[in-house]
Every structure is written in C-alpha cells, then in structure tokens.
Amino acid sequence: MMSRVKFHNSSDGSAGTSISISWKDFVNNPFDAGYYAEAFASADALIDKEIESLLRQIYHDSKCQDLINELHYLRSKTNLQGLVILDILKSKTVIKEALYQRVINFKKARNLVLHEIQREYALIPLQDHKKIKNQEEFDEIAKNYITGLLGEGEKIFQDLSKVSSSIYQKEEQFFSHDFYQKNPRIKQIKKRYPSMSIK
C-alpha cells in the first residue's frame, strides 16, 4: 500500500479521506517500481479528473453540478468515457482541436496497455518486431514507448490545467450569456431534424 489516499480526522472529530493529486505519486512512483499498466491507468484517471473539473467550471450552477455528479457516477458503472465530456468541452470551444486529438491518441495507447494481454509490449508496432534481437532489447523498446507516452500524458495534464486557469482570465467569454447560447449542436440538430422546434 502506498497511502496515496489519506485518512484524516476533521476538526469536528469525524473521519474522512482526501487525495493529493500528484502526478509523481500516482504515475511516476508506480512506473519507477515497474508497474507500467498501473502508471498508465493512473495517468488516464488524472487526465479524466482534469477534464471533468473543466466541465464543472463552465457549468457551475448547482443544477448543472447535480447533472455532472450523475455523469461521474455513470462513468464508474457504464462504458461512458472521459471522451464524452471532452467532446462537450470541444463543442463549447473550451478545448481546441489539437489538444482534443492528443487526448484521443493517449487514450488509444492506454487501451492497448490495459486491455491487451501483452500490456506495454502491445505499444511496439508489429513491423518493428523483426528488427529486435533479444529480450533485453524488446524490454528496452517497450519501456521507451511507455516512457514517451507517459511524458505526453503529463504534458496533456498540464495543458488541461492551463485551460482551467485561462477560463477565469476570460470570464467575459466563458461566463457570458452568449457563450451558452452559441451552441453548435443546435445547428446540427436543426439540420438533421428541420421540423423540430428548438431554441
């Protein structure tokens, strides 16, 4: 046990838990210990947590928070993915296309590592297998791939944090009435269902 989730007693004597969101604790430490799949899963979870946090920023009304809590619950019970929330952020122009694509590419690699029996070795393209001479080289190449991808994951996590800061610096853009009215989905719905009455 690495005690990354902290148990504590609050000032009123009641017990509780807290999590310190640290890339080092959740990603680097498991990676250094050789637990590459765990490191990848933790990196993905931290990125999803930051994505959800952005949604909470732009939809901060209590009713919206209740809906986001429902989405959060469903993510743990169904196949609802962080990409669904990310797509909402892209639609609302909070996330740019380049960052959106980087998250998608990271999640594709994450799926390989977590769902293939080869784990991190699944990251090595099949055409490269013929060039590998021995197990030591095979191990090193797999480690290099996952090192690079986790480095990219950390940059994505940092860039999402920068987006969070930029939202408060552009309140006239992100918290204005027009921001919520300019929904590109409305045009898409009207195009597909012209007879539907929607504002």
82 with 52: CB under 8 angstroms?
Answer: yes
Q: What is the pTM of this model?
A: 0.81
Question: Could you give the CA distance from residue 51 to residue 45 in angstroms, rounded to a whole number?
Answer: 10
Q: What is the pLDDT along the chain (199 residues), one digit of tens a residue?
A: 456 666 666 655 555 566 667 899 899 999 999 999 999 999 999 999 999 999 999 888 888 889 888 888 887 776 666 788 898 889 888 899 999 999 999 999 999 999 999 999 999 999 999 899 999 999 999 999 999 999 999 999 999 999 998 887 776 666 666 666 666 666 666 666 666 565 5
Question: Could you give the CA distance from residue 10 to residue 17 in angstroms, rounded to a whole number?
Answer: 9
Question: Could you give the CA distance from residue 74 to residue 139 in angstroms, rounded to a whole number?
Answer: 37
> Where do the H-state alpha helices sit in 59-115?
62-77, 82-91, 97-115
SS3 of 1, please? coil
Q: How many other CB atoms sit within 10 Å of the CB of residue 109?
A: 21
Question: Could you give the CA distance from residue 156 to residue 29 in angstroms, rounded to a whole number?
Answer: 19
Question: Could you give the CA distance from residue 6 to residue 87 in angstroms, rounded to a whole number?
Answer: 32
Q: How many other CB atoms sit within 10 Å of the CB of residue 62?
A: 6
Question: Could you give the CA distance from residue 26 to residue 154 in angstroms, rounded to a whole number?
Answer: 11
